[in-house]
Amino acid sequence: MSLLQLDQVTAGYGPVQALFGVSFALGEGEVLALMGRNGMGKSTTIRALCRMMPLTGGGVRFAGQDISGLASHQAARLGIGLVPEGRRCFAPLSVLENLTVAARRGPWDLARVHALFPRLKERSAQPARTLSGGEQQMLAIGRALMTNPQLLVLDEATEGLAPVVRQEIWQAINRLKADGLSLLIVDKLLKEISQVADRAVILERGRPVWEGAPASLAPDQADRWLGL
């Protein structure tokens, strides 16, 4: 049985429809990449499944339950942990406060997050707003892990980060995968995400147009759906 299943999801912003029937499933322990060019509906799909916006049609199931009508805090409590686009740490709070404010009981605790991202331990007392982009992403991931999610959703895992920092983030994601965590990851760099994702779904104007193992995406398809 799938951990997460979207079935013909439609959603939009007021009169502007953004999703036109998005369906895909994510299995327990699977790493799924959600890809597509700018404005194709990746973040909207994530907002819909994290219950941050209403569905206008279709449904979302998570862990055997229909969550289509739930509020975002209820979806979070069921075990969907989100690292949103733009990272959105609580800027005035310290790194430590950011991590502990949303903590819920489970295998992920401060010691484990610090082991994954030693930098966050060193920066504990610093306000989040003083962190570099890469450190903010580490903090956003750490904060989501502290909620002990069953599914970790990352919208733009490495956007805007320098290559060496991106590698650090991918290494951490690989460790989470090895640990058995289920992951849904948005990222634009096919080459990098291919090394961690088991499967990819590509969106084009709010519709899935391709699904498969990233390595099986032909160059002309990558160009058509992911090219600039």
Ligand X SMILES: Nc1ncnc2c1ncn2[C@@H]1O[C@H](COP(=O)(O)OP(=O)(O)OP(=O)(O)O)[C@@H](O)[C@H]1O
Is the Cβ of residue 43 or residue 147 nearer to Mg ion in the bound state? 43
Is the Cβ of residue 58 or residue 127 nearer to ligand X in the bound state? 58
**Pseudo-torsion of CA 186, 1, 148, 154, nearest 10°?**
0
**Can you count the helices (H) and strands (E) in the chain?**
9, 10
Is the Cβ of residue 85 or residue 204 nearer to Mg ion in the bound state? 85
Distance CA 82, CA 152 (A): 6
Is the Cβ of residue 86 or residue 118 nearer to ligand X in the bound state? 86
* Residue 38 Cβ vs ligand X, minimum distance, rounded to whole Å: 4
Neighbours of 125 (CB within 10 A): 9
Q: Which residues between 24 and 63 bind Mg ion (CB under 5 A)?
A: 42-43
Distance CA 171, CA 147 (A): 21
Q: What is the DSSP letter of 84?
A: -
* Residue 47 Cβ vs ligand X, minimum distance, rounded to whole Å: 7
Q: Which residues between 133 and 192 bind Mg ion (CB under 5 A)?
A: none
* Contact partner at residue 182 from Mg ion, ligand X, none, CB < 5 to 8 Å by partner kind: none
Is the Cβ of residue 72 or residue 148 nearer to Mg ion in the bound state? 72
* Residue 106 Cβ vs ligand X, minimum distance, rounded to whole Å: 29
Residues binding ligand X (CB under 6 A): 13, 16, 18, 36, 38-44, 85
Distance CA 103, CA 226 (A): 36
* Residue 223 Cβ vs ligand X, minimum distance, rounded to whole Å: 17
Is the Cβ of residue 36 or residue 117 nearer to ligand X in the bound state? 36
Residue 64-103 contact track with Mg ion, rule CB under 5 A, x = bound: ---------------------x------------------
Q: What is the DSSP letter of 158?
A: S
Selection from 39, 102, 99, 105 nearest residue 72 by Cα = 102
Distance CA 47, CA 86 (A): 13
Neighbours of 170 (CB within 10 A): 19
Distance CA 8, CA 58 (A): 5
* Residue 19 Cβ vs ligand X, minimum distance, rounded to whole Å: 8
* Residue 94 Cβ vs ligand X, minimum distance, rounded to whole Å: 29
Footprint of Mg ion (CB under 5 A): 42-43, 85
